[in-house]
A and B are shown apart, each in its own frame.
Chain A
Amino acid sequence: MSTILRGLQFYPGKTVIHKLDPRVKLVISLLLMMTAAIYLEVTIITIVVAVEALLSIIAKVFSRWARTVYGAAPLIILVFLLNVLFKLSMPGQSLGFQSIYEALQLAYRLVAFLASFSIFFLTTTPEELGMALTKMKVPYMYTFAFISAIRFTPILAEELQSIIDAQKSRGLELEKGNMITRLRRYIPILIPLMVNVLRRSYELAEAIEVKCFGAKKNRTYLRELKMTKRDLTVLSISITLFTLAIYVKLFVKLNIP
Chain B
Amino acid sequence: MTIIKSSNLWFKYSGSSEWAIREVNIEINEGEFVVLAGRSGCGKSTLMRCFNGLIPHFYEGEMIGKVEVCGLDTRENPTYILSQYAGMVFQNPDNQLFALTVEADIAFALENLSIPKEEIRERVDWALRVMGIEELRDKSSLELSGGQKQKVAIASILAMRPQILLLDEPTSSLDPFSAKQLIDTIISLNQKYKITILIAEHRLDLLLPYASRMIVIDDGRIVLDGKPREVLDKHDVMPYGVSVPRIVKVATQLKKSLGYSFNHVVPLSVEEFVEILRRWRN
Residues of A within 8 A of B (CB): 125-127, 130, 144, 147-148, 150-152, 154-155, 200, 203-223
Could you say which residues of chain A place their CB within 8 Å of the CB of B57? 209
Complex partner residue of A215 from B80, B87, B156, CB under 8 angstroms: B80
> Are A127's CB and B98's CB within 8 A?
no
Tell me which residues across on chain A come within 8 A of B108, comparing CB atoms: 211
Contacts of B97 in A (CB 8 A): 151
Shortest C-beta distance, A210 to chain B (Å), equals: 5
- Is B120 within 8 A of A220, CB to CB? yes
Chain B residue with the shortest CB-CB distance to A203: B95
Q: What are 22 A-B contacts defined by CB distance under 8 Å?
A: A127-B104, A147-B99, A148-B98, A150-B100, A151-B141, A152-B98, A200-B95, A204-B95, A204-B98, A207-B90, A207-B95, A208-B98, A209-B58, A209-B80, A210-B52, A214-B112, A215-B113, A216-B112, A216-B113, A217-B114, A219-B114, A222-B103
Does B54 touch A at the CB level, under 8 Å?
A: yes
How far apart sit A214 and B83, CA to CA, in the bound complex (Å)? 13
Contact at A221–B111, with CB atoms within 8 Å?
A: yes
Task: Determine whether the beta carbon of B54 is less than 8 Å from that of A212.
Answer: no
Known: A151-B100, A209-B79, A211-B109. 10 other contacts (CB 8 A): A126-B100, A150-B100, A154-B142, A200-B95, A203-B95, A206-B54, A207-B90, A210-B54, A212-B79, A215-B113
Residues of B within 8 A of A152 (CB): 98
Query: Are A223 and B113 within 8 A (Cβ)?
Result: no
Contacts of A218 in B (CB 8 A): 114
Verify A127–B101 contact, CB threshold 8 A: yes
Name, among A125, A204, A209, the residue most crowded by chain B CB atoms within 10 Å (CB to CB).
A209
Q: How far is the CA of A147 from the CA of B156 in the complex (A)?
A: 17
Residues on the A chain within 8 Å of B115, using CB: 220
Task: List the A residue with the shortest CB-CB distance to B95.
Answer: A203
Beta-carbon contact of A211 and B83 below 8 Å: yes
CA separation between A148 and B95, bound complex, in Å? 10
Contacting pair B100 A127 (CB below 8 A): yes
Q: Are B83 and A222 in contact (CB under 8 A)?
A: no
Main secondary structure of the interface of A (DSSP, over half): helix
Checking B94, B107, B116 against A155 with a beta-carbon cut-off of 8 angstroms, the contacting residue is B94
**Interface positions of B from 68 to 117, Cβ below 8 Å from A:** 79-80, 83-84, 87-88, 90, 92, 94-101, 103-104, 107-117
Residue in chain A with minimal CB distance to B52: A210
Min CB distance B101 to A, Å, is 7
Contact residue among B99, B114, B121 (Cβ-Cβ distance under 8 Å from A151): B99
* Cβ–Cβ contact B114 & A147, under 8 A: no
Distance to closest chain A CB from B120 (angstroms): 5
Q: Which residues of A contact B58 (CB under 8 A)?
A: 205-206, 209
Residues of A within 8 A of B109 (CB): 211-212
**Are A151 and B90 within 8 A (Cβ)?**
no
Given contacts A209-B58, A210-B52, A211-B108, whether A222 and B98 have CB atoms under 8 Å apart is no
The answer for the CA separation of A154 and B141 in the assembled complex, in Å, is 11
Q: Does B42 contact A (CB under 8 A)?
A: no
Q: Which residues of chain B are within 8 angstroms of A203 by Cβ–Cβ distance? A: 90, 92, 95
Q: Is the pair B95, A212 in contact by a Cβ cutoff of 8 Å?
A: no
- Residues in chain A near residue B114, CB distance under 8 A: 215-220
State whether A147 touches B124 (Cβ < 8 A).
no
Q: How far is the CA of A147 from the CA of B100 in the complex (A)?
A: 7
Q: Which residues of A contact B186 (CB under 8 A)?
A: none
- Closest residue of B by beta carbon distance from A150: B100
A244 nearest CB across to chain B (Å): 38
Chain A contacts for B154, CB-based, 8 A: none
Are A212 and B90 within 8 A (Cβ)?
no
Task: Assess the A222–B80 pair: CB atoms within 8 A.
Answer: no
In the bound complex, CA of A145 to CA of B155 (Å): 23
Which chain B residues lie closer than 8 Å to A200 at the CB level?
A: 95
CB <8 Å contact, B111 and A220: yes
Return B13 CB to nearest CB of chain A, in Å.
Answer: 13
Q: Is there an interface contact between B124 and A222, defined as CB atoms closer than 8 Å?
A: yes
Check B79–A222 contact: CB distance below 8 A: no
- Please determine whether B98 and A212 come into contact, CB atoms closer than 8 angstroms: no
Our pick among A208, A211, A214, A221 for the contact of B117 (Cβ within 8 Å) is A221
Is the CB–CB distance between A125 and B100 below 8 Å? yes
Q: A204-B95, A222-B120, A222-B121 are contacts. A213–B157 as well, Cβ < 8 Å?
A: no
Inter-subunit contact B98/A147 (CB<8 Å)? yes
CB-CB < 8 A to A210: which residues of B? 52, 54, 79, 83, 87-88, 157
A212 touches B100 (CB 8 A): no
Q: How far is the CA of A209 from the CA of B96 in the complex (A)?
A: 10
Contact with A along B42-64 (1 / 0, CB 8 A): 00000000001010011000000
Chain A residues with CB under 8 Å of B52's CB are 210
Q: Please provide the 7 A-B residue pairs with the shortest distance between their CB atoms, ordered closest to farther.
A: A216-B114, A215-B80, A212-B80, A211-B109, A203-B95, A222-B107, A212-B112
